[in-house]
Amino acid sequence: MPDMSFHLPASRRAAIALPVSVFLLVFAGALLAVILATFILQTVLSGRQLEPTPSTVTINRNGSVYQGDRLVGWATGTAAGTQVSLSLEDASDTDLGYNLRLNLPAGVNTSQVTAQFISIQSSAGMTAQPVTSTMLAISTVPLIPESHTRLSLSFTAGSLRIPWYITLGSFIKTISPLTALTFTLLLFLLTYLYFLIVTKRPRPPASLAPFPSPPGGLRPLEMSIILTGTVSETGVAALVYNLAQRGYWHIIRQGDEVFFLRRATDKQLLPYEEKIVNLFSPIGQPPFSLSEVVDSITGDIFSDLVGTIYIEMYDRLTQWGYFRENPRLLHLRYKTIGIILQFGGLIQAAVSYFLFNNQAPALVILGLAFYIVGVLVYTAGYRILPLNRLGKRLTVECLRFKQYISDPKPINEEEGTDGLQTSLLYDYLPYALVTGTVRGWFNRFAGQPLYVPSWYSSSFDYTLTPEQFISQIEEIISGWGNVFIQQKDPNVD
């Protein structure tokens, strides 16, 4: 067997792989640093002036509020200053009322804070006496049980400034796992909805008649890219039949085997077409059967081959003015974003699980949420085509041509002689493959004598019914399924 390795130039791969790898490494390191810094700063900056007791409330410089070792609240910024509202436990006795010590952050004195109890009872009888310049002694008259009293503290503007990352970290600590799961589901649904919108193809108005020929001189595989945004097994099979119809090889069906015999021709092949022809029938080699070709194509070979098809299709259609930008570059961005989200999400989930699981269990779920969204972005990004106005109009014309192929009206009511009809059948067969309308296209020739095209030989009779010919065509196409099932993403970056 000949060497069937098809690889993109090493210099091109290295030129892109290096910056992407460096970017991923920098991003992962930065994400890890932010997570660690957030919680380390919370710990370092939470230096408490006094050893807390159950009746001691400490407000830290980072805005966190502790009663003993329990987080009971956090400060929030307002237009007038900083506000703290919290419920207190183990700080009251219904016979004696509240009696607690309030430790203020370093740099904030008692003159910059106002304390008030908010209760179903009157706040009369409450006293807030400074013990030191940074400590208040707060007490109230006896309270009735279940009074649901909250302590409200107001700091003057500028006296207590809380860094945004500390506030964010404190907020994340309060997120419950159920809330994190809800956020994960919402994030996934929004991402999925986004891709449904951006991958939606234009539809032709019902008033427009079917288009009787391929618009813009598009070849079958180019039409497949325009309609679906990807290359499928039927798209490659359509390319094979299109090359045979154009005289580049002869397809021979012998029993269960299908062979491809190369024909001499002076017609110029496009680069991806030449790779396909060399794959099926290399120069100087005996004809290969389809099963031999399928067995010899590894994931890397096929991925590079389809990647070559993508690159040329995208470049040609972009040069013709159908896209706002080259889809290859757009897909590379989505692929990179997807990889970043996956790596970042896994790193965050792992770090959060081992270091902060007790403090912020929701961080693990949020990390997995970003990983799931990254998988969706990575896989769905290939379907996006940045069609401009001309490209959308071309898509509509392609759909009108698809309507023509699948029209139930017999073709002999419109076209010329039987010979022209049979030629039309095989000329448009590759287009029927990429649009998924093979049965409908053959049904348009029902009741007519069909002849095997010159590029196809079979052990069957030369006069075939539509059912026999369709059966043979579909059997050959099914041979591609085994190749596509285990293939990697095409190397288009």
What does the pLDDT look like over 419-476, one tens digit per residue? 456 678 888 888 988 888 888 888 887 777 667 777 777 766 555 555 666 677 667 6
pLDDT (mean) for 112-121: 64
Report d(CA 391, CA 318) in Å as an integer: 10
| Averaged confidence pLDDT in the chain | 71
57/487: higher pLDDT:
57
Find out whether 112 and 106 touch, Cβ atoms under 8 Å.
no
Give pLDDT tens digits for 15-53: 444 454 455 555 655 655 555 555 555 544 444 433 434
Write out the two tokens for 85: 């509202």
pLDDT given for residue 486 in this prediction? 46
Neighbouring residues of 26: CB distance < 8 A, sequence distance ≥ 6:
none
Structure tokens at 342: 């996956």
CA distances for 345 relative to 31, 32, 40, 164, 366, angstroms: 9, 10, 20, 22, 8
Distance, in Å, from the CA atom of 484 to the CA atom of 493, rounded to the nearest integer, reads 19
Contact 63, 140 (CB under 8 A): no
Verdict on whether the full-model pTM lies above 0.75:
no
Spatial contact of 97 and 142, defined as CB atoms under 8 Å apart: yes
- Give the Å distances, CA to CA, from 128 to 4, 75, 115, 137: 85, 19, 7, 6
Neighbours of 30 (CB within 10 A): 11
Quick one: average pLDDT of 396-403? Answer: 88
Most trustworthy range by pLDDT among 18-32, 281-295, 320-334, 453-467? 320-334
* 58-74 per-position pLDDT tens digit: 777 666 777 777 777 66
Q: Distance between terminal CA atoms of the chain?
A: 29
- 141-191 tens-digit pLDDT: 555 555 556 667 777 666 666 666 666 666 676 777 788 788 888 888 888
Question: Residue 416: its pLDDT value, please?
Answer: 47
Q: Which domains does the chain have, with CATH numbers?
A: 56-173 (2.60.40), 208-323+385-485 (no CATH)
Q: How confident is the model at residue 54 (pLDDT cuts 50, 70, 90)?
A: very low
Residues in a beta bridge with 159: none
Enter the tokens of residue 239: 């390319």
Q: What percent of the chain has pLDDT over 70?
A: 56
The mean pLDDT of 188-217, rounded to a whole number, is 79
Residue 132 in this model has a pLDDT that exceeds 80: no
Mark 223-234 as b/e (b = at least 16 C-beta within 10 Å): bbbbbbbebbbb
The torsion angles phi and psi of 322, rounded to 5 degrees, stand at -95, -15
Residues 61, 82: contact at Cβ < 8 Å? no
Per the rule left: phi > 0, alpha: psi between -120 and 50, beta: everything else, 107 is: left
Please report the pLDDT score of residue 7 as a whole number.
41
Lowest mean pLDDT among 13-17, 353-357, 360-364: 13-17
Tell me the pLDDT tens digit for each residue of 219-276: 888 888 888 777 777 777 788 888 888 888 888 877 777 777 877 666 778 887 887 7
CA distance 159 to 476: 78
The pLDDT > 90 percentage for the chain reads 0
- Asked whether the beta carbons of 382 and 230 are under 8 A apart, the reply is yes
Nearest to 320 by CA among 215, 201, 210: 215
**Phi, psi at 133, each rounded to 5°:** -70, -15
Residue 122, pLDDT above cutoff 70: no
